[in-house]
Structure 1
Amino acid sequence: MKATLGTIILYVRNVELLKNFYVDNFNLKVTEEDPTWVLLNAGAINIGLHTIGEQFLKEIGEDYKFDNNTKLVFEIDLDIESARSEFISKNILMREIKTFENYDFWLCDGTDPEGNVFQLKSRKQ
């Protein structure tokens, strides 16, 4: 069997909020949309944003931040310090820039409005 990963789906409280976050900050394109679902093209893969089931929405508050073990990694064509500064200026929570020995990239993690972790990845010059 040959398998190809085409879409990653995040279950979210507010599809519109997250759609705007990823479109505005990563310039992703909307390819499908309805009130409970958005599909964003992120290059070789799509990111689906799907509303959490009603039974679960009743159990979480408006300011609830999700805690999961998924991280979306975006390779960017901007230097990492400029990108991090731009995100911070938009009040997006960003961690410190890091790298690893013998690794060709700078990395910086942030969180979207619902607490999902993303990473900026910028090639070292």
Structure 2
Amino acid sequence: MNVQLSTIILYVKDVQLLKIFYVENFNLKVIEEDPVWALLDAGGAYIGLHKIGDQYLEEIEADHIFDNNTKIVFDIDMDIEAAKNDLVSKKVKMRDIKTFQDYPFWLCDGTDPEGNVFQLRRKK
């Protein structure tokens, strides 16, 4: 079997909030949208934002930040420090820039408004 990644779907509390976040900060294009769904073109794959079912939302406090084990990695074509500083100026929570020995990339993690982790990756 040969496979190709087409879409990653994140279940979210506020589709509109996260759609705006990813469009404004990463220049992703909206392909589809309705009140419970948005599909964003992220280059080689799509990111789907699907509203969490109401039966689950009733149990979640309004200011709850999700803790999950998914990270979306965005390759960038600009200086990683400048990219990080731009996001920080927009009040996006960002971590320190890092790399590893014999690893050809600079990395910087951040979180979206619902706590989903993303990473900026820039070739050295």
* Alignment match, 1:58: 58
1:78-103 CA-partner distances (Å, limit 9, x unpaired): 11110111111111100000001111
After TM superposition, the structure 1 = structure 2 runs for residues 84-103 of structure 1, keeping only pairs within 5 Å, are: 84-103=84-103
Unaligned runs of 5+ in 1: none
Residue type of the partner of 1:20?
Answer: I
Separation of aligned partners in 1, 2:44 and 2:123 = 18
Residue type of the partner of 1:50?
Answer: H
After TM superposition, the structure 1 = structure 2 runs for residues 98-109 of structure 1, keeping only pairs within 5 Å, are: 98-109=98-109
Q: Does 1:22 align with 2:61?
A: no
TM-score, normalisation: structure 2: 0.98
Q: Which aligned runs of 4 or more in structure 1 are off by greater than 3 angstroms?
A: none
TM-score, normalisation: structure 1: 0.97
Separation of aligned partners in 1, 2:21 and 2:80 = 19
SS at match of 1:85: helix
| Residue 104 of structure 1, CA deviation | 1.1
Instruction: Specify which structure has the higher proportion of strand.
Output: 2
Separation of aligned partners in 2, 1:7 and 1:20 = 18
| Residue 123 of structure 1, CA deviation | 1.1
Please report the RMSD computed on the Cα atoms of aligned residues, expressed in angstroms: 0.6
1:18-41 CA-partner distances (Å, limit 9, x unpaired): 000000000000001111000000
* Alignment match, 2:123: 123
Residue type of the partner of 1:27?
Answer: N
**Identity across aligned pairs (percent)?**
65
SS at match of 1:121: strand
Give the paired residue count.
Answer: 124
Separation of aligned partners in 1, 2:43 and 2:92 = 23
Residue type of the partner of 2:76?
Answer: I
| Residue 61 of structure 1, CA deviation | 1.4
